[in-house]
Amino acid sequence: MNSTEPASFPGKILLLGEYSIILGGEAITVPLERFSGSFEYPANNTDAPDFARQSNQAIREFLGYLQSPEIRNVMSYPLDLDLLEKETTNGLFFSSTIPQGYGAGSSGALVAALFSRFANPKPDIASLHEPDTLRTLRTQLSRMESFFHGSSSGLDPLTSLLRKTLHVQASGKINFPDLSGFFQQTHTRVFLLDTGITGNTKPLVEGFRQQLATQQLNGELLKGLNNEVVHALLNRDPIYFSDFLAQLSLFQLENMKPMIPEPVSPIWRKGLETGQWTLKLCGSGGGGYVLGFAPETTDIEAVMQAEGMKLLALEV
């Protein structure tokens, strides 16, 4: 990474891999450039707006976590925490348009911004395609973001920091796939469905682990279906992609009900029954965005408007 700090850090969408990545499954993340965040100072520190004060307080609490020896002493890229403390005292806050609790990477963008600004030394940009460097960077970002969720894969901040589409293999190796043109060539619309509800990652992940422990959910089947969709997308196979995506969607609908807000379930099922759209989790679920795919022949905006749902088109 060079010494010039980017102006802002985008959100992210976990295109594939939610929950199955916990089991060693593959994942694909894409930057969500529509939303972003950056560090700012209030014009008047004694009369800062509420959102700036709340963000500043959150950064102060994050700083306390980063100062703890068990975190500070395992950082491969040390953070200048004295400078961070000084800047928070001066009112530093994270100004962000990324919706919180929506699976759009709001905490990941904050972590990426903080790493970019305060890590010293930073990894050299030429080394970021080296597996060891990427693994080390992901591990540190994971430890940092765990403050917000209890645990983190590190992919949200890594995607925001690098501003690249990432493919995580089962081995943990990270590639930078080119997905451009696939959805256009297959005449597929990709969109986010706004549930109008904020989600909370930590209890949902804990509940998922409990489902696995009590054998209420077949983790190997979930991982297998997810990996098949990933491979179909990377191989640009539209038939396999559509088929396995529908199977993954049905599995989530039938086995991961706590992650799917109740108002969305009938719409989710209707899409599978009619073939007009396919929905899947976007991140941990429980609210926020749901990820959708629909053929261009479906007027998906009109359909979702009739269902009382807001839709956000995605360019992937």
CATH label of the domain that carries residue 223: 3.30.70.890
On the question of pLDDT at 5 being above 70, the answer is: no
Residues 167 and 207 in one domain: no
Residues 165 and 265 in one domain: no
List, for residues 136-169, the tens digit of each pLDDT value: 999 999 999 999 978 889 999 999 999 999 999 9
213 is in which domain, residue-wise? Answer: 182-314
Residues 213 and 296 in one domain: yes
On the question of pLDDT at 186 being above 80, the answer is: yes
Q: Which two tokens mark 235?
A: 């191989």
Residue 269 parent element (H or E): helix 265-274
Residues 144 and 28 in one domain: yes
Would residue 106 count as lying in a domain? Answer: yes
Residues 187 and 169 in one domain: no
Whether cis (ω within 30° of 0) applies to the bond prior to 121 is yes
In this structure, are strands 188-194 and 166-168 parallel, antiparallel, or unpaired?
Answer: unpaired
The alpha carbon of 272 is separated from its chain's Cα centroid by a whole number of angstroms, namely 25
Q: Among 139, 160, 175, give the residue marking a domain's end.
A: 175
Backbone angles phi, psi at 135, to 5 degrees: -65, -45
The CA distance from 283 to 65, in Å, is 24
Tokens 């800047």 correspond to 87
Closest of 94, 115, 96 to residue 35, by C-alpha: 96
Would residue 3 count as lying in a domain? Answer: no
Q: Which two tokens mark 247?
A: 């199977």
Would residue 91 count as lying in a domain? Answer: yes
Residue 260's pLDDT is 95
Residues 169 and 228 in one domain: no
Residues 196 and 270 in one domain: yes
Tokens 């297959």 correspond to 186
Number of domains in the chain: 2
Residue 3's pLDDT is 46
Compute the mean pLDDT over every residue in the chain, rounded to the nearest whole number.
Answer: 92
- What spatial distance separates the first Cα and last Cα of the chain, rounded to whole Å? 25
Residues 194 and 310 in one domain: yes
Query: What type of residue sits at position 124?
Result: D
Rounded mean pLDDT of 262-272? 95
Residues 169 and 273 in one domain: no
Residue 258's pLDDT is 92
Domain CATH number, residue 91:
3.30.230
Q: Which two tokens mark 302?
A: 């009109």
Rounded mean pLDDT of 122-128? 79
Residues 152 and 49 in one domain: yes
Residues 64 and 158 in one domain: yes
Banded pLDDT at 46 (limits 50, 70, 90):
low
Query: What type of residue sits at position 187?
Result: H
What's the CA dihedral at 225, 292, 10, 204 to 10 degrees? -60
Would residue 129 count as lying in a domain? Answer: yes
The CA distance from 24 to 17, in Å, is 9
Banded pLDDT at 2 (limits 50, 70, 90):
very low
List, for residues 103-115, the tens digit of each pLDDT value: 999 999 999 999 9
Query: For 192-264, where are the alpha helices, taking DSSP H only?
Result: 201-213, 219-234, 238-255
Rounded to whole angstroms, the maximal C-alpha distance in the chain is 59
List, for residues 47-100, the tens digit of each pLDDT value: 678 899 999 999 999 999 999 999 999 999 999 999 999 999 999 999 999 999
What percent of the chain has pLDDT above 70?
97
Residues 130 and 190 in one domain: no
Would residue 4 count as lying in a domain? Answer: no
